[in-house]
Amino acid sequence: MPVRNAEIADLFDRMATLLEIQGANPFRVRAYRNAAQTLRGLPRRVADMLAEEEDLSRLPGIGKDLAGKIAELVDTGHFVALEELEKEVPAGLVELTRLAGLGPKRVRVLHEELGIRDLTELERAARKGRIRELAGFGVKTEQRILQALRRHAPEERRHKLADVEETASDYVDHLRAVAGVKDVIVAGSYRRRKETVGDLDILVTCKKGAPVMRSFVEYDEVDEVVSRGTTRATVLLRSGLQVDLRVVPQVSYGAALYYFTGSKAHNVAVRAIAVKKKLKINEYGVYKGDQRVAGKTESEIFKAVGLRYIEPELRENRGEIEAAKKNRLPHLVCVSDIRGDLHAHSDATDGHDSLRKMAGAAKKLGYSYLAITDHSKRVTIAHGMDEKRLRRQLDAIDRLNAMLHGIRVLKGVEVDILADGTLDLSDSVLRHLDLTVGAIHSGFNLSRHKQSERIIRAMDNPYFNILAHPTGRLINQRPGYEIDMEGVMEAALERGCYLELNAQPDRLDLQDVHCRMAKDMGLKLAISTDAHRKSNLEYMRFGVDQGRRGWLEPEDVLNTRPWRELKRLLARR
């Protein structure tokens, strides 16, 4: 039972949260969080690295102590320090930290001052008006907590796409190894590359179902077999993820893949078209009377109902069927269209790798440019730069560019948008940059109107180019701040500014529908990774997937342009 990097990372994050609730030394808390981040970005399993006797303490953010904890986990399956801490901190408190507006620090105050231990007790206290009495909370916070509680309750647990990828591909490998198995593919929202998935839907073709079924339910990560038949089964994994399996004969592969890729809304709409053509469509094929007229491949299915092939990312019944009829489907952007990354950090602020290393990694990806956009001074926890430090970095970039071949480091900054909409750095330094990325890191609670005004004011600055992570949301962790997206996009368009589609799997900020909105308005987007270490540059594919769900074509994306063209697009009149 090899331990996954993501599992260890989750445990480290949990450790950090528990420590924070306890009020432990912030450096210790940060060490666990950093290590979790490192683990998530590693290309190889630490379990494999340990098996090859590699020294984990040489990884960034992982010292001797944490390397020891990882080894303990891999060897024994236990993490004693965490187990001890779990006994000390009430279990419900961790869940409270996931509520919007309540970090571990606040949860600690709630626990210490009011004895709150879980959601129910929190709600009771909020209703009684006891939270507003706490120092640093107030009526507004109390209302926000009640609001968050209402939102929290019915929400089903959905899993971030990136978090389930490793599980999905391991499960697929496991099933492929079964004798007699032909195709194994993950369908459902996973194949549509939705930002979160409710469960995984695996489709297998083979002659005899029994061995596949057995192998499916006996997979070592299975915690519970929910149901098991001859052609379908459902299991729950230890991670809490549900996985559905369907086994179909080879002749039905295309029909089943199409059916189980969904979405349901898309399927229903296409079925209506089939009915009009006097056809029947189900997971075994397309039928005219009793005769199967299509089923083996997805293209056959589309052809049979008179449609062009529709990419899975588009199958949401958001106009793709009409577009397919009229042969007006978009030619979706691909990772190979991307020529560079326009948002990345170096170790000058809260990144982990040097300018040179970041540039080398970008070159390896085949990019021709990489913008280094470190934080500005207001973001003190990220060791943000003032004008003087930024100027020094610009000189360093000039020196580096003089030595580099085949890749250009663009001079950028991720400048903080202050409360009043002005920028955290003066124009005298911004004017020397290739591009300015602006971002909000504080003041999330402004009204929709005020927040939008603030952003638009920032765009009034003639050096402003790209609005980073436009809503500030973190998937499953915190909702974004409220903004009038259409108004902000219109303002960007008028001013020659752009919005970012942040590719971090925890952010994916813009949402797919907002990407589509931008495209329809003629506003180009930058798909950027916001990389904080070399390996993060590979998050690009998550951003591209999200962009594809928003119908983006190469020409809708800034960083598919060569630098000369991009430079013109960035120049504001």
> Which range binds ligand DGT by CB under 6 A, 70-78, 143-151, 259-267, 387-395?
259-267
User: What residues numbered 122-141 form the site for ligand DGT, per CB under 6 A?
Assistant: none
Comparison of 279 and 314: residue with beta carbon closer to Ca ion:
314
x-or-dash string of contact with ligand DGT, 42-81, rule CB under 6 A: ----------------------------------------
Residue 313 touches which member of ligand DGT, Ca ion, none, C-beta under 5-8 Å by kind: none
Please give the Cα distance from 316 to 352 (Å, whole number): 39
The reply to whether 188 sits near Ca ion by the rule CB under 5 A is: yes
Q: Which does 260 bind (CB under 5 to 8 A by kind): Ca ion, ligand DGT, none?
A: ligand DGT
CA distances to 362, 400, 406, 509, 525 from 559, rounded to whole Å, are 13, 22, 16, 17, 8
Please report how close the Cβ of residue 264 comes to ligand DGT at its closest, in angstroms.
4
Angle 355-364/387-403 helices, nearest 10 degrees? 50
Residue 528 interacting with ligand DGT (CB under 6 A): no
Q: Which is nearer to Ca ion, 186 or 570 (CB)?
A: 186
CA 380 – CA 505 distance, rounded (Å): 24
> What are the backbone dihedrals phi and psi of residue 419, each rounded to the nearest 5 degrees, phi first?
-55, -35
Cβ atoms 547, 525 nearer than 8 A: yes
Question: Which structure tokens are listed for 10?
Answer: 């989750």
Under DSSP, is residue 92 helix (H, G, I), strand (E, B) or coil?
Answer: helix
Shorter beta-carbon distance to Ca ion: residue 189 or 560? 189
Q: Compare residues 18 and 187 and give the one whose CB is closer to ligand DGT.
A: 187
Q: Which residues of 555-573 are buried (b: 16+ CB within 10 A; e: fewer)?
A: ebbbbbbebeebeeebeee
Asked whether position 199 contacts Ca ion by CB under 5 A, the answer is: yes
- In angstroms, the CA 153 to CA 151 distance is 6
Neighbours of 481 (CB within 10 A): 21
Closest CB 182 distance from Ca ion, rounded Å: 22
Total residues contacting ligand DGT by CB under 6 A comes to 14
d(CA 356, CA 351): 13
Which residue from 449, 447, 390 is spatially nearest to 416, judged by alpha carbons? 390
Q: Which amino acid is at 298?
A: E
Count of residues touching Ca ion (by CB under 5 A): 5
Q: CB of residue 10 vs ligand DGT: minimum separation in angstroms?
A: 20
Looking at residues 176 to 215 of the shown chain, list those that interact with ligand DGT (rule: CB under 6 A): 188-189, 194, 197-199, 201
CA–CA gap between residue 310 and residue 371 (Å, rounded): 34
For Ca ion, the closer of residues 120 and 227 by Cβ is 227
263 binds, among ligand DGT, Ca ion, none (CB under 5 to 8 A by kind): ligand DGT
Part in contact with ligand DGT (CB under 6 A); list of ranges 256-264, 319-327, 377-385, 555-563: 256-264
Site residues (CB under 6 A) for ligand DGT, limited to 260-299? 260, 262-264, 267-268
**Cβ–Cβ under 8 Å, residues 314 and 320:** yes
Tell me whether residue 316 or residue 414 sits nearer to ligand DGT (CB atom).
316
| Contacts with Ca ion, residue ranges (CB under 5 A) | 188-189, 199, 201, 244
| Contacts with ligand DGT, residue ranges (CB under 6 A) | 188-189, 194, 197-199, 201, 259-260, 262-264, 267-268
